[in-house]
């Protein structure tokens, strides 16, 4: 008996682990978790039970077959995982040696004996028991709504009570149980399934009233029954796949635009650096007191872009400081130049405030030139929002108007 029940237990455990691994690895399809009121079922069935106790091997299996009836209610929480509460009412038929010296036979066990003693000193034995248990159900195969066959191992725990017959009736002490088995389920319709179940119940060896025997005893059952799916929702809905292609396309386009802008700015920066390098080379070849040619004056004027500022700010940005540093390096080579700084704003803010802000912006550029050692004459003019170079209706236009212009005059 022990080998049979242990075999069922091992098979159930292995198939449960396999099913769980299969689900975790991603081979199971994604399905929505049902509501608490959905995917309930009721199972009823009946069949045969064979009990395995200390003295039962005295008789053949055909003389020990008794009845079993079952009633269960449960719920599937996912296509592969479910729980049930089951009640098994079973009969036990076996043999008992009330005068055994090998085991301790209690009075309760003696009350189960009936008939006459055979030549080996054994009586026939019978009693009933009610086993109530909670089981974890695991469906092995990948879920399909119309799948004809399902293999469902289960594993659970419960409590069993023993009943006597006739004058020995009544409820006797019970024991905790471990229950395991396999359900073979065949789909009959959307609502009904046909179940063939092979199961086993483990209990402490003293359950039948005989003490000192094998560690475990219990019953092996084979039943046929009907599984009834309750409610309107009897299946699982597949989780809809989210389409991210639109967002992915937008992200790709934004990345491409960003890369194009970075490349353009990099090319413009390289060109500006080359112009500055050429200018520095030309200026380094002339004496400090020599007046630049007309072409050189044009180069100086065209090389330096406006110094741009953030909104409502007169603080120089890092790139602006680098730009002014280049101007300072060239101006220090000439003693006959005059620098004019013109401060400007966009149309944000009042006219009087913008006038003051444009003044501060021009003064910020002047201060930085002087800190870099420029001794030339520097004139500062504030125009406020009067002389826009672009429209103030767009963000790009306003950014171009927040500036300080640098003009260099050769005497």
203 shares a domain with 59: yes
Among 211, 229, 247, identify where a domain stops. Answer: 229
Would you call 59 exposed, middle or buried from its count of C-beta atoms within 10 A (0-12, 13-18, 19+)? middle
Whether residues 56 and 199 fall in one domain = yes
- 181, 200, 229 - which closes a domain: 229
In a shared domain, residues 73 and 214: yes
In a domain, 243, yes or no: no
Cα–Cα distance list, 70 to 99, 176, 194, 301, 353 (Å): 35, 18, 14, 99, 90
Confidence of residue 194 (pLDDT cuts 50, 70, 90): very high
Using CA atoms in the order 320, 325, 328, 332, what is the torsion angle rounded to 10 degrees? Answer: 180
Residue 260 lies in a domain: no
The verdict on 207 and 349 lying in the same domain is no
Give CA angle at 410 (285, 365), nearest 5°.
Answer: 100
Tell me the three state secondary structure of residue 129.
Answer: strand
At 22 the pLDDT is 41
| Per-chain mean pLDDT for the chain | 81
- The β-bridge relationship of strands 113-114 and 337-343 is unpaired
Distances 276 to 238, 246, 296 between C-alpha atoms, Å: 65, 45, 12
Q: State whether 224 and 302 are in the same domain.
A: no
Range of the domain at 342: 287-410
Residue found under tokens 């199971």: 28
Examine residue 400 and state whether it is found in any structural domain, yes or no.
Answer: yes
- The answer to whether the CB of 145 falls within 8 A of the CB of 159 is no
For 379-389, write each residue's pLDDT tens digit.
999 999 888 88
List 151's β-bridge partners, or say none: 184
Q: Would you give the end-to-end CA distance of the chain in angstroms?
A: 116
Residue 236 lies in a domain: no
Indicate whether 306 and 206 sit together in one domain.
Answer: no
**C-alpha distances out from residue 289 to 332, 333, 359, Å:** 11, 9, 32
Q: pLDDT by residue (tens digit) across 11-23?
A: 555 544 444 444 3
pLDDT band of 167, cuts 50, 70, 90: low
Distance from C-alpha of 322 to C-alpha of 310, rounded to nearest angstrom: 16
Residue 79 CA to residue 59 CA, distance in Å, equals 44
Same domain? For 105 and 213 the reply is yes
Pairwise pLDDT comparison (285 vs 315), residue with the higher score: 315
Q: Which CA distances in Å does 47 have to 155, 162, 164?
A: 20, 19, 21
Count of structural domains within the chain: 2
Interval 66-104: pLDDT, tens: 999 999 999 999 888 999 999 999 988 888 777 776 777
DSSP string for residues in 336-372: SEEEEEEE---S-S-HHHHHHHHHHHHHHHHHHHHHT
Asked if residue 128 and residue 35 are part of one domain, the reply reads yes
Decide if 365 contacts 407 (C-beta within 8 A): no
Is residue 139 assigned to a domain? Answer: yes
Whether residue 275 is contained in a domain is answered as no
- Ranges 27-31, 324-328, 335-339: which has the least confidence: 27-31
The model's pTM is: 0.51
Whether 222 and 296 map to the same domain: the answer is: no
Q: Looking at residue 20, what is its pLDDT? A: 43
Q: Does residue 140 share a domain with residue 61?
A: yes
Kindly state the average pLDDT of the residues 177-186: 96
CA distance 364 to 383: 15
Q: Which of 229, 251, 267 corresponds to the end of one domain?
A: 229
Task: Note whether 54 and 120 are same-domain residues.
Answer: yes
Q: Is the pLDDT of residue 344 over 70?
A: yes
pLDDT at 348 over 80: yes
For residue 51, what are the contacts with CB-CB under 8 A and spacing of at least 6?
Answer: 64, 66, 90, 92, 93, 94, 208, 217, 218, 219
Q: Does residue 281 belong to any structural domain of this protein?
A: no
| 176 and 294 inside one domain | no
Contacts of residue 81, Cβ cutoff 8 Å, sequence gap at least 6:
136, 137, 138, 139
Coil, strand or helix at 286: coil
Query: Residue 194: inside a domain, yes or no?
Result: yes
Whichever domain contains 198, its CATH number is 2.40.160.20
Token pair of 37, please?
């009121």
Contact yes or no for 359/341 (Cβ under 8 A) = no
What percent of the chain is helix, strand and coil (3-state, nearest 5)? Answer: 30, 35, 35
Q: What is the CATH number of the domain that holds 360?
A: 3.30.1330.60
């Amino acid at each position: 008996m022990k080998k049979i029940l242990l075999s069922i237990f091992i098979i159930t455990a292995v198939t449960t682990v396999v099913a769980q691994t299969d689900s975790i690895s991603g081979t199971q399809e994604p399905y929505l978790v049902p509501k608490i009121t959905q995917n309930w079922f009721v199972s009823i069935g009946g069949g045969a039970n064979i009990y395995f106790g200390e003295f039962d091997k005295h008789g053949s299996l055909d003389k020990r077959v008794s009845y079993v009836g079952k009633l269960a209610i449960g719920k599937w929480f996912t296509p592969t995982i479910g729980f049930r509460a089951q009640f098994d009412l079973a009969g036990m038929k076996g043999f008992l040696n009330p005068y055994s010296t090998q085991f301790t036979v209690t009075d309760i066990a003696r009350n189960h004996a009936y008939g006459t003693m055979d030549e080996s000193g054994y009586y026939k034995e019978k009693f009933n028991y009610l086993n109530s248990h909670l089981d974890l159900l695991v469906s092995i195969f990948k879920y399909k709504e119309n799948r004809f066959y399902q293999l469902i191992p289960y594993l659970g725990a419960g409590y069993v009570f023993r009943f006597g017959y006739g004058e020995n009736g009544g409820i006797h002490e019970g024991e905790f149980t471990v229950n395991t088995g396999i359900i073979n389920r065949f789909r009959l319709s959307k609502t009904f399934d046909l179940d063939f179940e092979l199961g086993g119940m483990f209990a402490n060896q003293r359950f039948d009233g005989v003490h000192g025997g094998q560690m475990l005893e219990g019953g092996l059952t084979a039943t046929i029954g009907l599984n009834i799916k309750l409610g309107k929702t009897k299946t699982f809905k597949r989780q809809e796949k989210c389409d991210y292609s639109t967002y992915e396309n937008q992200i790709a386009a934004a990345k491409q635009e960003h890369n194009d802008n970075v490349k353009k700015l990099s090319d413009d920066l390289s060109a500006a650096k080359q112009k500055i390098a050429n200018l520095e080379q030309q200026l380094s070849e002339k004496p400090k007191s020599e007046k630049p040619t007309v072409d050189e004056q044009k180069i100086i004027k065209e090389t330096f872009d406006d110094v741009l500022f953030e909104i409502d700010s007169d603080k120089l940005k890092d790139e602006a400081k680098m730009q002014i540093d280049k101007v300072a390096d060239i101006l220090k080579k000439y003693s006959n130049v005059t620098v004019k700084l013109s401060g400007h704003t966009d149309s944000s803010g009042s006219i009087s405030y913008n006038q003051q802000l444009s003044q501060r912006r021009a003064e910020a550029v002047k201060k930085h030139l002087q800190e870099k050692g420029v001794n030339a004459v520097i004139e500062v003019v504030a125009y406020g929002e009067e002389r826009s170079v672009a429209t103030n209706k767009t963000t790009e236009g306003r950014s171009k108007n927040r500036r300080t212009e640098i003009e260099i005059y050769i005497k």
